[in-house]
Amino acid sequence: MRILSAPLLLLAFAVVALTGVHAGGKDDKVTLKGTITCAKCDLGKESTCMTVIVAKDKDKKDVTYYFDPASSKKYHGKICTEASPGTVEGTVKTEGEKKIVTPTKVTFEKQ
């Protein structure tokens, strides 16, 4: 029984490890349509300015997606004092409890 247990245990660890790497390393490509704004100044969620887009998920609930640090700086000047409707195309990953978007294209709607 012991001889059989060790290989099965190793196989179980390998499956868990490979599944974890695949699931955690995969970024989902998305198109988000919503309000691009500041997480600090507009939403009051952060202690420092951060660019975010608030978009509806498939259940029609508001979800806040934080721009990655480089993109946050690049687009922040346009939205810090006034939120703007827009669309963000890119990849999304989850870090802790936050959804992080790395935009490949950001489009602001004309107001």
pLDDT tens string 68-98: 999 999 999 989 889 999 999 999 999 999 9
- Does 54 map to a domain? yes
> Contact, 92 vs 27, CB < 8 A?
yes
Q: What is the pTM of this model?
A: 0.74
Per the model's pLDDT, the better-predicted residue between 21 and 109 turns out to be 109
Q: What is the pLDDT of residue 16?
A: 39
Query: Would you say residue 90 lies in a domain?
Result: yes
Note whether residue 14 is domain-resident. Answer: no
The answer to the question of residue 46 being in a domain is: yes
What is d(CA 65, CA 51) in angstroms, rounded to the nearest whole number?
9
Residue 62's domain comprises 28-108
**Percentage of the chain lying above the pLDDT 90 cut:** 68
How many domains is the chain partitioned into structurally? Answer: 1
The whole-number pLDDT of residue 51 equals 97
CATH of the domain at 68: 2.40.50
Report whether 76 contacts 49 (CB < 8 A): yes
Q: Note whether residue 52 is domain-resident.
A: yes
Domain assignment of residue 6, yes or no: no
